[in-house]
Amino acid sequence: MAMITADPQDVPKVESFSFTPESMAKVNALIANYPPGRQASAVIGVLDLAQRQQGWLPRVAMDEVARILEMAPIRVYEIATFYTMFQLKPKGRYLLQVCTTTPCWLRGSDHVMKACQEAADGVTFSVQEVECLGACVNAPVVQINDDFYEDLDAASTRRVLDAFRRGETPAPGPQVNRQTSAPEGGPLTLKGE
C-alpha cells in the first residue's frame, strides 16, 4: 500500500510503490515480448500497468519501472511526460480526454469541451485537451478512460456524463444513429449483392 503525503504543488507525494503480484506477472509477460537486453522496449506498457494500479503515475512508480527495466530514471520520465496517456497527478474516476484538433473543432468540440469542463470536479471527472484521437470521421470525440464516445454535441456529452454519474456505463462509439463510421441512418451504397 502506498503512503501519501502532501506536496507543495498540490500533488500528493507517494512514498513507495511496488507492483502487485498480478501486475508483476503482466510486467514479466510484457518484458518477455522483447529479446534479452531490450527490456526497455516494454516501457510504455509497464508505465501503463503502473498507472492502472496506482490511478496515476507518481515519481516512485516511474522509478520502479526504471529499476525493473534497467533504464535510467530520466528516460522513463521523458516518456511519461511526453505522452498524454500518462497522468502525473491524481485524476477523477473518469478522465475525459477531449480532442480539439481541426476536424473535431469544426464540428463543435468547443461546446463538448465546455460541457466536460462544467462536469469536471477532480473526483468523478477530470478533463484534459488532447491532440487527435484518430476518429475524425465521427468528430467530435471524447475518450473517457479507455472508451471513445463519438458524434458528440453539448447535450449528448451531458447525457453520457450523467449516465456515468448514475453508475451506468453508456455504450461507447457514435452517439447518433450511425454504425461505426457509416453515414447516419445506415449505409447508402453496397446495400445488396
What pLDDT sits at residue 34? 97
- pTM of the full structure: 0.81
Q: How confident is the model at residue 185 (pLDDT cuts 50, 70, 90)?
A: confident
What pLDDT sits at residue 181? 83
Task: Please compute the mean of the pLDDT values over residues 105-124 and round it to a whole number.
Answer: 96
Is the model's pLDDT at 1 over the cut of 50?
A: no
Tell me what the pLDDT averaged over the chain comes to: 91
Is the model's pLDDT at 177 over the cut of 50?
A: yes
Q: In angstroms, rounded to a whole number, what is the distance separating the alpha carbons of residues 162 and 151?
A: 17
In the beta sheet, which residues pair with residue 69?
Answer: none
Q: How confident is the model at residue 8 (pLDDT cuts 50, 70, 90)?
A: very low
Percent of the chain with pLDDT over 90: 82
Q: In angstroms, rounded to a whole number, what is the distance separating the alpha carbons of residues 38 and 54?
A: 26
Q: How confident is the model at residue 180 (pLDDT cuts 50, 70, 90)?
A: confident
Q: What is the CA radius of gyration of the chain?
A: 19
Q: In angstroms, rounded to a whole number, what is the distance separating the alpha carbons of residues 122 and 12?
A: 14
Q: What is the dihedral of CA 50, 51, 56, 59, to 10 degrees?
A: 30
Q: Note the pLDDT tens digit of each residue in 12-62.
A: 888 999 999 999 999 999 999 999 999 999 999 999 999 999 999 999 999
Is the model's pLDDT at 71 over the cut of 90?
A: yes
What pLDDT sits at residue 152? 97
Q: Which residues contact 148 (CB under 8 A, 6 or more apart)?
A: 133, 135, 141, 142, 172, 173
What pLDDT sits at residue 183? 81
